[in-house]
Chain A
Amino acid sequence: NAGVTQTPKFRVLKTGQSMTLLCAQDMNHEYMYWYRQDPGMGLRLIHYSVGEGTTAKGEVPDGYNVSRLKKQNFLLGLESAAPSQTSVYFCASSLVSNQPQHFGDGTRLSIL
């Protein structure tokens, strides 16, 4: 049971570099989410998708872009990384809205 898989697990970037985080789910879920987790702030929603080909902004979307070209994949991009984007990023998916979300194990990203 793979569930939700995030790659990579760790990454260190220099300010201004770009990168893409990949999230893949094998549960045929419609909804997918990207969160960031920072100490004392819980999880904050960056972007989400309610189905293949759709994306929407969450609470903290600035500096990030996303794409959902295939139902099972949800990509999070940082075009020009900034130190404020140092965080742990979690991907999640759910069958439909208001249903429990299934989480990946996270990507720890450091921006120097």
Chain B
Amino acid sequence: AQSVTQPDIHITVSEGASLELRCNYSYGATPYLFWYVQSPGQGLQLLLKYFSGDTLVQGIKGFEAEFKRSQSSFNLRKPSVHWSDAAEYFCAVAINTDKLIFGTGTRLQVFP
């Protein structure tokens, strides 16, 4: 079955530290890939997307993600985390369907 895995349920980092959130998918073909962020009490906001081309994509708020076909991964990174980045992050994929498949999310906590 098609699936999206975010192995880390909860991550804690210090402000200013680097961040990498993992996302793996199980599909035969290259999917469309997305990262969303959800602040408490809010809906999901798109951070970045990958459709084709350059495998390193830049998003809003200083985030980037790299698509690695050989590893079926689309990990999200940020060089220096800010306290305002504390939120829940969701990876999602779409492959020739009308729907997105979401991972279960990673909650990021940032310590000062």
A residues apposed to B, CB below 8 Å: 4, 31, 33, 40-43, 45, 48, 50, 56, 58, 90, 92, 97-98, 100-106
B41 within 8 A of A: yes
Q: How far is the CA of A31 from the CA of B99 in the complex (A)?
A: 10
| Residues of chain A lying within 8 A (CB to CB) of residue B105 | 42
Given contacts A105-B42, A105-B43, A106-B43, contact A42 B90 (CB under 8 A): yes
**B residues engaging A (CB < 8 A)?**
9, 32, 34, 36, 41-46, 49, 51, 90, 94, 96-100, 102-105
Main secondary structure on chain B at its contact with chain A? loop
- CB < 8 Å neighbour of B102 from A42, A50, A104: A42
Asked whether, in the complex, the Cβ of A104 is within 8 Å of the Cβ of B43, the reply is yes
Cα distance A33–B99 in the bound complex, in angstroms = 9
Provide the residues of chain A in CB contact with B96, threshold 8 Å.
98
Q: A43-B44, A43-B90, A97-B99 are in contact. List 11 more A-B contacts (CB 8 A).
A: A42-B102, A42-B103, A56-B98, A58-B99, A90-B44, A92-B43, A97-B97, A98-B94, A100-B49, A101-B44, A102-B46
